A and B are shown apart, each in its own frame.
Chain A
């Protein structure tokens, strides 16, 4: 506790230090938020699990084909995840298989954890009040949290895709890609399509991210928000498989998730993809607005 903390930089007339206009929307908070999120052990563990799935699938396919059953092609896709029969012929298909395997639960669960914890976790730790008093601004903080969750969606998807590509390249041959429609494209174009597919998968998760963010504004318990988001996901996924509920199924956010396979056709079938992205946009609009309405008026008592 020294009295001599006086040397106030070299600014002359330190009475009014250089302050920037509060109106400027700096990216400082976003950078801090993304940095903080991706430095947490929890985030890294989630990504590690996601990266592990393609490796497991790849090894399982390798062992299975090693025991005989040649390419297992006779069974086609029946009984296994999409594209799994093509993996032995072309390692690139492990990317599509892995995305198809992780999209129903692994990926959205990870998103649910990050989105659910985004605001509720801060409230639980009490840091929310200090961010708001800083002042982060409620709308700005909400946008930063959502942007960080979306970043996580993209990173998580790319982690799955890259891990799958590496595993596929290591265990299986790579080469020309035969599309679902029967035409062949070069490996380069195949990689490009894989990248587009990863982006579409990431976009497919934006609706759930908005739902998670909204749930996160409702409570001061990070665990409760995470559990509710994941619970909701499981419920909706189950509802989506009950034939009697076909009337509501087109409105459930995961309904068109697996439509990314249509990008592997020539020409590409856009119908389902458009429905998927439109549905996600609807969810983002509805739950994003609800989150905003809730968060900007809420009493912060934690």
Chain B
């Protein structure tokens, strides 16, 4: 197993074999002519935590199913861990853990029984260590205490955990997690995030589909956005914010003050744009540093402390002062539109 570049050069194009997932013109047309995925070129670098975003019905799950060999592409090709899918499924899939469109369990089996069965389905899994590995996986997702209960009696969150445990039965090179925190309580979400980080630190590449943008932003190094079956953009999370949001990429500043007029004037002098005054609140876009290319993740170039000092020097009484960095949600909405309706 080649050791993954944990903090590799971000902007360098990853070498061919350093891509854990790579698709070329991947297309799926369902019977009836519905185009679910349209010419997808996806490249997931080894060692990344890759967020896969898109509104409902944008083709995320179809893509994941094609990557896992469940669906035959209509056109194009997909390579996973360097080998073609679905052709090399028998060699590739034992090294891949997957949670696809929510957990699916045998209700009449216990949690442990479910894992034993899924493990038995893997011809590369060693039956001698089966019980031990199942126990470890249950422990890892916090289900050890409920392992003997029939899966029928599990709550959605527990089922989700059991699905995750099935993906963790063996050490994996790639984890494909489709909506892993669906149905979990906030505590569970935190645990999953911690687990994802822990796995990524061990060198596992994590391909994470979610529509909880906050969650992606917290754990992902890379992201891709799909809309209506097409790939809109992909890259590092920092790159996305910078290139997509453009002028507002520096973040938004909010000043609370009774002297709104003066404040607005001072801010404008310092290059803050798109100023808006509501009540005692002045908000505006912070300027992006002139060399917009290297997206320094640590905020705008303009020193906020200087800006605050300038306000005070001008006699502005400041009650509150703060900058909000552009979020992935802004990127997402910018790219996929505000509309609530799912794409037909």
Contacts and interface: CB of A to CB of B under 8 A. Distances in A.
B243 interface: no
B105 A127 contact: yes
Nearest to A127: B104
Contact of A15 (B1, B72, B106, B122): B1
A254 to B, nearest CB: 32
Interface string A133-144: 111110011000
B90 A137 contact: yes
B71 A136 contact: no
Report the interface size class on chain B. 35 or more
B126 A19 contact: yes
A244 interface: no
Contact of B94 (A2, A22, A130): A22
B331 interface: no
A20 B122 CA distance: 10
A18 to B, nearest CB: 6
B127 A1 contact: no
A74 interface: no
Nearest to A41: B108
Interface in A1-47: 1-3, 5, 9, 14-22, 24-26, 28-29, 31-32, 36, 39-41
Contacts of A127: 104-106
Interface string A107-148: 000000000000000000111011111111100110000000
Highest count of chain A CB atoms <10 Å: which of B121, B124, B132 = B121
Interface stretch (B190-198, B220-228, B289-297, B314-322): B190-198
Interface residues of A, number: 43
A1 B89 CA distance: 31
B136 A136 contact: no
B67 to A, nearest CB: 10
A235 interface: no
Contacts of A2: 139-140
Contact of B98 (A32, A40, A133): A133
Contacts of A15: 1
A19 B94 contact: yes
B231 interface: no
Interface stretch (B112-120, B206-214, B233-241, B269-277): B112-120
B121 A131 contact: yes
A299 interface: yes
Contact of B91 (A17, A22, A126, A130): A22
A129 B120 contact: no
Contacts of B299: none
B104 A125 contact: yes
Given A1-B194, A16-B1, A26-B123, A301 B93 contact: no
B68 interface: yes
B116 A32 contact: yes
A21 B126 CA distance: 10
Contacts of B90: 22, 135, 137
A134 B93 CA distance: 7
Nearest to B92: A135
Tell me what chain A mostly uses at the interface: helix, strand, loop, or mixed. Answer: loop
Interface string B27-39: 0000000000000
Contact of A21 (B117, B124, B198): B124
B5 to A, nearest CB: 17
Interface string A286-297: 000000000001
B218 interface: no
A145 to B, nearest CB: 12
B44 interface: no
Interface string A52-90: 000000000000000000000000000000000000000
A21 B123 CA distance: 8
A133 B90 CA distance: 9
B258 interface: no
Contact of A133 (B93, B120, B127): B93
B253 interface: no
A1 B195 CA distance: 8
A192 interface: no
B278 interface: no
B93 A135 contact: yes
Given A5-B140, A136-B121, 17 more contacts: A2-B140, A5-B139, A19-B124, A20-B125, A20-B126, A40-B108, A125-B105, A126-B101, A135-B89, A135-B93, A136-B122, A136-B123, A141-B121, A297-B72, A299-B65, A300-B65, A300-B70
8 nearest interchain CB pairs? A126-B104, A134-B121, A135-B93, A32-B120, A136-B121, A300-B70, A28-B120, A134-B122
Interface of B: 1, 65, 68-72, 89-91, 93-94, 96, 98, 100-102, 104-109, 116-127, 129, 132, 136, 139-142, 163, 166, 170-171, 191, 194-195, 198
13 contacts: A5-B139, A19-B124, A22-B94, A22-B124, A28-B120, A28-B123, A29-B121, A126-B104, A129-B100, A131-B121, A132-B68, A132-B69, A301-B70
